[in-house]
Structure 1
Amino acid sequence: MTELHDRPFPRVMLIAVASLIGFTILAVAVARLTGFDPSQAPVSPEVAVRDLSFVEVGQGELAVYDSDSGVLLETLPQGEDGFIRGVLRTLERERRMHSVALDGPYRLSLRENGRFTLEDQTTDFFIDLRAFGPTNEAAVGRFLSAQPSAQ
């Protein structure tokens, strides 16, 4: 009895593999030439926005300001709100890669589809906060309707 690996590769299989490879190369070429980017899903329109500035104050506290009015919304104590601090590190890293000022505001948006996004308009980088779960999304989303802090 002849084992499977001793048999010559059937011509039909060679044609099928070559066709698949050719189709893949063609599809990638068409995508690149037309500018198609499957990683960028269409973004739902904004229904509410607020530009926020985050400033480190004191011993590791983080002050959150409404950028348009300059009003303090909240001061986050040191060691708390780790998710927000992590998102800010990501956005700051993008700014460093694009060689832009680190102190500009970020745009928090509530989208028509109910999702919150945090966008850096200087780098066109945005984060869909729903990807991190409802608790983390709410941690940032609360600043959209936050009233001035009494602090």
Structure 2
Amino acid sequence: MSQTIETHPILRRPALVCGSLIAGVLALVLATPLLPSARDGVVPVAVAQRDLFFGDRADGGVVITEARSGQQVAVLQPGEGGFVRGTVRSLVRERKREDIGSAIPFRLTAWHTGQVTLEDQATGRKLDLTGFGQTNAEAFVRLLATKE
């Protein structure tokens, strides 16, 4: 019995992954204008904040480093941390389009409102990570909780 592309499980997976990544990037782009600001009458207060660098390793892993101390915060092994990887890669693509290097860190912030944001300090782009659900936001919150 032969299988078509639509029914073969190995051939369907890349399409699902690509579709999910595209949907995630679209959600990131659409969620950004929903962030509260002082002009809305809400002045958010940061309860935890950390500037981070995300670096690719030759084996496909990602090293996350605290910008101020240079200490390693976490390592995402190949195949791990899909939401973190996808979110950061979307911001890095924007930096590349604007011909901005990687010398400026990303700012991860937990707010008193329960919101978690990731800001690209090089482009000014700020993403509301809580808009992607509790589990996805927690993937970033863990980076705030690690020791320096």
Normalising by structure 2, what TM-score?
0.69
Structure 1 residue 75 and structure 2 residue 69: aligned?
no
Structure 1 residue 66 and structure 2 residue 60: aligned?
no
- Match for 2:100: what amino acid? V
Counterpart of 1:86 in 2: which secondary structure?
helix
Matches within 5 A, 1:96-115: 96-115=96-115
Question: Which residue of structure 2 lines up, in the alignment, with residue 119 of structure 1?
Answer: 119
2:103 and 2:89 map into 1 onto residues whose CA distance is 12
Question: Which residue of structure 1 lines up, in the alignment, with residue 36 of structure 2?
Answer: 42
Counterpart of 1:100 in 2: which secondary structure?
coil
Flag the structure with more relative contact order, 1 or 2, with Cα contacts below 8 A and sequence separation at least 6: 2
Tell me the percent identity: 37
User: 1:114 offset after TM fit, Å?
Assistant: 1.2
Residue 108 and residue 41 in structure 1: after superposition, are their counterparts in 2 closer, same or farther (change >3 A)?
closer
- Structure 2 gaps of 5+ residues are 1-32, 38-43
Aligned length: 110
1:103 and 1:85 map into 2 onto residues whose CA distance is 18
User: 1:41 offset after TM fit, Å?
Assistant: 4.3
Structure 1 residue 146 and structure 2 residue 146: aligned?
yes
User: 1:65 offset after TM fit, Å?
Assistant: 0.7
Question: Which residue of structure 1 lines up, in the alignment, with residue 131 of structure 2?
Answer: 131
Counterpart of 2:110 in 1: which secondary structure?
strand
Question: Which residue of structure 1 lines up, in the alignment, with residue 7 of structure 2?
Answer: none
Normalising by structure 1, what TM-score?
0.67
Question: Which residue of structure 1 lines up, in the alignment, with residue 27 of structure 2?
Answer: none
Q: List, as ranges, runs of 4+ consecutive aligned residues in structure 1 with deviation greater than 4 Å.
A: none
- Structure 1 gaps of 5+ residues are 1-38
Name the larger-Rg structure. 1
Question: Which residue of structure 2 lines up, in the alignment, with residue 85 of structure 1?
Answer: 85
TM-align CA RMSD? 1.5
Is the 8 Å Cα contact of residues 73 and 146 (structure 1) preserved in structure 2?
yes
Question: Which residue of structure 2 lines up, in the alignment, with residue 55 of structure 1?
Answer: 55
